[in-house]
Amino acid sequence: MDEYIGLDVSLKETAVSIRRDGKRVWRGKCPSDPQLLAALIRKHASAPKRVVFETGPLSVWIFHALAAEGVPAICIDARHAKAALDMAANKTDANDADGLAHLAEVGFYKEVRVKSFDSMLTRTLVAARTRLVRIGTELSNQIRGLMKTFGLIVPAVTGSKFEHHVHALLADNTDLGQIIRPLLEAWHAVRLRSAELGRKLLADARRNAACQLLMSIPGVGVVTATSFVSAIEEPANFKHSRSVGAFVGLTTRRYQSGEINYDGHISRRGDSHLRGLLYEAATVLLTRSRSECDLRKWGLQLRERLGFKRATVAVARKLAVIMHSMLITGEPFREKSAAA
């Protein structure tokens, strides 16, 4: 007979619950190691049908490792599972595992596509570079703010010019220099490391045909193209290109109940970083790009009727649809037919 297994994964231990014929037949805990989990499942379940666990920090590693062990692992949406797990009187790891096993048995869950390790490696590279850039910006702003207190105004410059002006202003202030120079050295080191990751990101994008294809769109750069490709992985994962807009949370939410029926703000579901990059690309297309493409003209017309922010969100959603369509067809961006 088929067994249905629920795993409530945490950093150290995983609660396990096994159900058969509508009843729980075993429950316990195991260290959060995929090999140990697979051995425990084989010991207590002779014919596992579904092994269900929620999305989380360890879900990519757990999923691929269990799949390599031959375990029928399924990763489900944590938000969807929460509605069912909240029905339990007491919130415990054991009860959560029981609830997940019950969901696996009745089939009432929303399966999540788990990304490959290669895609996660690319996303990690983008995230690390983004974090270093933000740290560098925070350090430079901190230096400006501290020096401003003593009447030392750093001009609005960046890079090596910023460092040169800071050293020049601190030349006659030894006491303040002992405080600011360590921050400046940290800023310089962070800037070097972010540049290294940026060069690696650019080199990887140049070797990737999909990234080169997407970068033909005005406003879409290396980071946006790389993030989009790593998030989509295979274009066939989406049946329709318009579904990508909902995937990144750029479509409006709808609420309907009886006589009430209205559309709200965008859902903001999915990858928030990619959504921000698409919004940034749309902003560049509408404000800085000199391209006369149909997409920009359409966005500018929307701006006149709806305002800048709503028009930018609409262009960002349209960009996501166009980029997915380009990955399917392999055709470069066409300025006079993109909006259609």
Query: What mean pLDDT do residues 147-157 have?
Result: 93
- Give SS3 for 27: strand
Indicate the domain borders of the chain.
3-106, 117-207, 211-329
pLDDT-derived band at 337 (thresholds 50, 70, 90) equals: low
Q: pLDDT averaged over the chain?
A: 92
Q: Tens of pLDDT along 37-48?
A: 999 999 999 889
Q: Tens of pLDDT along 215-247?
A: 999 999 999 999 999 999 999 999 999 999 999
What does the buried/exposed string (b/e) look like for 192-226 if buried means 16 or more CB atoms within 10 Å of the residue's CB?
Answer: eebeebbeebeeebeebebbebbbebbbbbbbbbb
Query: What mean pLDDT do residues 103-126 have?
Result: 92
pLDDT at residue 148 is higher than 60: yes
Tell me the C-alpha distance between 113 and 195, whole Å: 32
Select from 94, 64, 58 the least CA-distant residue to 78: 58
pLDDT-derived band at 340 (thresholds 50, 70, 90) equals: very low
Tell me the C-alpha distance between 5 and 43, whole Å: 13
Q: Tens of pLDDT along 191-220?
A: 999 999 999 999 999 999 999 999 999 999
Q: Residue length, the chain?
A: 340
Burial class (CB in 10 A: 0-12, 13-18, 19+), 285: buried
Q: pTM for this one?
A: 0.87
Q: Tens of pLDDT along 304-325?
A: 999 999 999 999 999 999 999 9
Q: Note the pLDDT of residue 80.
A: 85
**What CATH architecture applies to the domain 3-106?**
2-Layer Sandwich (3.30)
End-to-end CA distance of the chain: 53
> Do residues 41 and 13 make contact, with C-beta atoms less than 8 angstroms apart?
no
pLDDT at residue 10 is higher than 80: yes
Strands (E), 132-274: 252-257, 260-266
The DSSP bridge partners found for residue 54 are: 76
Tell me the C-alpha distance between 70 and 119, whole Å: 22
Select from 127, 101, 129, 294 the least CA-distant residue to 198: 129
